[in-house]
Amino acid sequence: MKLVHNSPISIKSDFKVDKNKDQVDNLRDLKRNKERTQKPERVYFLWFLNLKLLLEMEEKKMCFKIGKSRKEIYVGKNLKIDKTFYKDWDLDQVLVSPFWKWWKSHKTLFEKPITEFSDTTKGWVPKPYYRFIRINTRNGLRSILKDVQTGLNDLVGKDSGYKSRYKVVGDVHYDNEILRYNVIIRILNGEDDMEILEKEKGRMKKIEKSKRGSIRYDDEVNTRESLLWTLERQWKNLSPEERGVQYTKVHEEVHKGLHGGLGKYRLKIIKTRGTIIDREFRSRLRMELSRYTKESQLILNGISQGIYRKPINF
């Protein structure tokens, strides 16, 4: 069974490839200046994606396999989504809608209250946390600002009391989160390690270049890279025959009384340089993907309880 509503996010579709990094950063800064949310919009996009994944796993009765014992954790049974907390998100829309469409009608859930201006008080309903101000615009701007500041001096040093219900915990690194999301989707869809590497290599290397990954110094090529890429390079230099498993015959002792011959034999794997590199490369790749998977599972467990992005153990 494969996921339908969730699919891996490609670099081309989530990154402006026709602009350089500085241009993208400037555009993001301009957009951020107009936003009234605690975090940038793309952070809520990540929260939305992960919740959408949980909802589809619940719908399809899919499970995670966690730990060395490969324990099965079913979404909807062992891991339950706090639908009371997410009541205002309209979860039926989250499951089937693209983020941009859902965000249009739900972004106010994440925005801070704004200061409003009006020529009339018609429609304004008093609240304990509201304060109405009447301004005579015949006064100069400097005088008006001074009067407003003086009138609100009692707020200095006081806690506003406003707390967002949908608070993001900690720092969120966009590419790292997308990579975790992609890896776990590909695993759920039955892709093997080599397929995942081939499709996610670009983002994995992009993250490493940002110096967030585990990196070491390689004297041979005079560059900084992870052990995974060193092993992959060595693996690619092997021929298909060198990567393949090779066997030798190990003969059993001949029983006494039989005439000549070497007797029965069994096959024993020969440890060649090629098989050692192949095993080390695949083992390292499995370790990297397992790390991404475990991190995703813990983050998804937190999201099910209404917390993004604090990892929570099962």
- Is the same domain home to 187 and 53? yes
- Is the same domain home to 98 and 240? no
- Is the same domain home to 42 and 180? yes
Confirm whether 138 is domain-assigned: no
How many CB atoms lie under 10 A from the CB of residue 56? Answer: 20
- Is the same domain home to 280 and 172? no
Confirm whether 238 is domain-assigned: yes
How many CB atoms lie under 10 A from the CB of residue 54? Answer: 23
Closest CA relative to residue 277, chosen from 222, 227, 311, 312: 227
- Is the same domain home to 241 and 105? no
pLDDT of residue 298: 96
The answer, yes or no, to whether the previous bond of 309 is cis (omega within 30 of 0) is yes
pLDDT of residue 309: 92
pLDDT of residue 35: 74
- Give the residue ranges of the chain where pLDDT is below 50: 212-222, 256-257, 259
Closest CA relative to residue 48, chosen from 181, 163, 176: 181
pLDDT of residue 20: 66
Confirm whether 203 is domain-assigned: yes
pLDDT digits (tens, 9 = 90+) for 261-280: 556 767 777 788 888 999 99
- Is the same domain home to 181 and 32? yes
- Is the same domain home to 43 and 63? yes
pLDDT digits (tens, 9 = 90+) for 101-137: 999 999 999 998 778 888 888 888 888 878 888 899 8
pLDDT of residue 217: 38
Beta strands in 171-304 (DSSP E): 216-218, 223-225, 247-251, 265-269
- Is the same domain home to 203 and 255? no
Using an 8 Å Cβ cutoff, are 52 and 101 in contact?
no
- Is the same domain home to 67 and 31? yes
Backbone φ, ψ for residue 266 (5° rounding): -125, 160
Closest CA relative to residue 297, chosen from 173, 196, 180, 170: 180
Q: What does the alpha-carbon distance between residue 235 and residue 222 come to, in Å, rounded to a whole number?
A: 19
- Show the tokens assigned to 269: 């794997």
Backbone φ, ψ for residue 308 (5° rounding): -130, 125
Q: What does the alpha-carbon distance between residue 76 and residue 57 come to, in Å, rounded to a whole number?
A: 8
Q: What does the alpha-carbon distance between residue 98 and residue 104 come to, in Å, rounded to a whole number?
A: 11
Confirm whether 290 is domain-assigned: no
pLDDT of residue 121: 81
Which residues have a Cβ under 8 Å from the Cβ of 229 and sit 6 or more positions away?
Answer: 205, 208
Is residue 183 classed exposed, middle or buried when 0-12, 13-18 and 19+ CB atoms within 10 A define those classes?
buried
Q: What does the alpha-carbon distance between residue 231 and residue 233 come to, in Å, rounded to a whole number?
A: 5
- Is the same domain home to 205 and 243? no
pLDDT of residue 208: 84
Q: Which domain holds residue 79?
A: 11-114+166-218
Using an 8 Å Cβ cutoff, are 216 and 227 in contact?
yes
Closest CA relative to residue 103, chosen from 44, 62, 184, 155: 44
Which residues have a Cβ under 8 Å from the Cβ of 50 and sit 6 or more positions away?
Answer: 181, 299, 300, 303, 308
- Is the same domain home to 96 and 241? no
